[in-house]
Amino acid sequence: MNDLYIVYSYHVGRDNPPKYIIGTYTSLDEAKQRLYSYGECPFFTLNTGALKSSDGYVNFINKVPIGDCMTELFTNTVNIDNE
């Protein structure tokens, strides 16, 4: 348990949409489950590994080390197809 997985969501239909944290997890599997619980089915996988819901929400996971770190936001996106 060395990493924290932060699940974010934003709506693509808005100008400069705010990004919301919709969950934080120490398990990648739990974070992946949260991706599918926010927005309407079906979900489509984007080339970044994020998910887009049929109603326009983009959900993605960032991995951040637990403890002291200096990580730029939104730069450690987890590609769910490769993890």
Q: What is the distance between the alpha carbons of residues 22 and 62, in angstroms, rounded to a whole number?
A: 12
| Per-domain boundaries in the chain | 3-65
pTM higher than 0.95, yes or no? no
* Contact present, 24 and 4 (Cβ < 8 Å): yes
Residues facing 19 on adjacent strands: none
Q: What is the distance between the alpha carbons of residues 25 and 45, in angstroms, rounded to a whole number?
A: 21
Tell me 42's DSSP state.
P
Q: What is the pLDDT of residues 21-70, one digit of tens each?
A: 999 999 999 999 999 999 999 999 888 888 999 999 999 999 888 988 88
